[in-house]
Amino acid sequence: MARSTADGGPEFLSGTLEMLILRTLEAEELHGYGIARAIEAASGARLSIEEGSLYPALHRLEKRGDVRPEWKVSPTNRRARYYSLTQQGKKHLKKTTTAWLDVSAAVNRVLGLVPANQPTLGRAEAT
């Protein structure tokens, strides 16, 4: 998906790209190139979106019916394929986000980093 801008390799987060795309489109209708820039900006330049991952992901989402494409002219006066979220896409985003929070919280729990007040099977953590 996204790689950290820090290290050189693909790290973590296979599958997050689609979620991030959907989330970005929830905020505003955008074309692929713009989505990539928007995600990078929103991440505080910590993620970089490769086009070789981006476009296949967009086509998957389109085929799945989560986004709807439309050719338009961008503010820079170029032909660009603008994507908008479908109802299904919105639902999918909500579901996926919940799953992400759930799983990433589970990972943090295993790492022993749980930000307190999370009741986890009576596993008390020593300070």
Partner DNA sequence: CTTGCATACCTAGATTGTCTTGGTATGCTT
Partner DNA sequence: AAGCATACCAAGACAATCTAGGTATGCAAG
Site map 3..42 versus its own copies, x via CB under 8 A: -x-xx--xxxxxxx--xx--xx--x-----------x-xx
Place of tokens 């505080």: 44
Considering only residues 46 to 105 of the shown chain, the ones binding its own copies according to CB under 8 A are: 46-47, 97, 99-105
Whole-number Å distance between alpha carbons of 38 and 25: 10
Other beta carbons less than 10 A from residue 61's beta carbon: 23
Contacts within 8 Å (CB) and 24+ apart, 72-75? 72/31, 74/31, 74/34
Contact flag: residue 57 with DNA (CB under 7 A): yes
Nearest approach in angstroms of CB 82 to DNA is: 7
Runs of H (alpha helix) within the chain = 16-27, 32-42, 51-64, 87-111
Site map 8..37 versus DNA, x via CB under 7 A: x-x--xxxxxx------------xxxx---
Nearest approach in angstroms of CB 64 to its own copies is: 13
Backbone angles phi, psi at 80, to 5 degrees: -150, 145
User: Of 76 and 126, which CB lies nearer to its own copies in the complex structure?
Assistant: 126
Contact residues: DNA, CB under 7 A: 1-3, 8, 10, 13-18, 31-34, 49-53, 55-60, 74-82
